[in-house]
Amino acid sequence: MGGRFILLLFLLSHFQVKGPGIGLLGNSKGGELGLAISSFLKGITAAVIINGSVAVVGASIHYKDETLPPVGIMKERIKMTKDGIMDVVEALKSPLEDQKSFIPLERSDTTFLFLVGQDDHNWKSEFYANEASKRLQAHGKEKPQIICYPEAGHYIEPPYWPLCRAAHHVLVGGPIVYGGEPRAHAMAQLDVWEQLQTFFHKHLGGKS
C-alpha cells in the first residue's frame, strides 16, 4: 500500500485536481483495492466500486503493521460449463467466515456507489455490496447506494466495449465464465457510465 499512498499524495497535490479529496473508480480487483485504499488512507471523498470484493482475494494486503490475508478458496466447488469452461462463483469462502479477510471499510469516510452485475460469475458481487452496506451502517456510516443490473456480467466496462463473457484467469490458471447476456450487459454499460459520472460530479464538486 506504500506506493498507493505516494500516488494519492501526488494526485492530491496535482494542479489539475480540484480537491480537497479525490475519487476512485475500481472494477473487479480494482474495486477490492479501491475499498482497501478508502479504508486505510484519508483523502478519498467518493468511490465507485463495480463488481468488487469486500474480502481480500488472491494475495495479502499490507498496510503499516496490518496484514489482511486472502479469503479461502474451495476448489472442490468449481464447476464446469457444458463448453468446458470453469465457473468459480461458488469457490470463494464467504467473507463472513474469513473475517480477517474482510476489508475494514467501516474506517472509511468515503461515500460509496456500488454497481453490480447480477449475472456476475467471477464472484458474488451483489452479496458483497450488500454486506458492505450492512457493515458501514452497523458502524454508523452512511448507507451506500447500490444499483443492480439484471443479466449483466462481471466486467462492466465503458459503453460499446464487447462483452467479456469468458476469459483466462491468472489466479485460477485457466478460462472462466464471467457471465452476462449481450443486450442486457450493453444496456448496463450505458447506464453505469451515466451513473458514475453523476455520482462523481455530485460528490467531487463538479458540474453535471
Catalytic positions, written as ranges: 28, 120, 154
Question: What's the 3-state SS for 7-18?
Answer: HHHHHHHCCCCC
Crossing angle of the two packed helices 29-40 and 2-13, in degrees rounded to 10: 80
User: Nearest to residue 152, comparing CAs of 188, 195, 190?
Assistant: 188
What is the β-pairing status of strands 44-50 and 22-27? parallel
Is residue 194 within 8 Å of 187, Cβ to Cβ?
A: no
Reduce the DSSP state of residue 56 to 3 states and report it. coil
Cα separation, 29 vs 52, whole angstroms = 6
Is residue 157 within 8 Å of 27, Cβ to Cβ?
A: yes
Is residue 156 within 8 Å of 122, Cβ to Cβ?
A: no
User: Nearest to residue 22, comparing CAs of 44, 55, 48, 52?
Assistant: 44
What is the β-pairing status of strands 86-87 and 111-117? unpaired
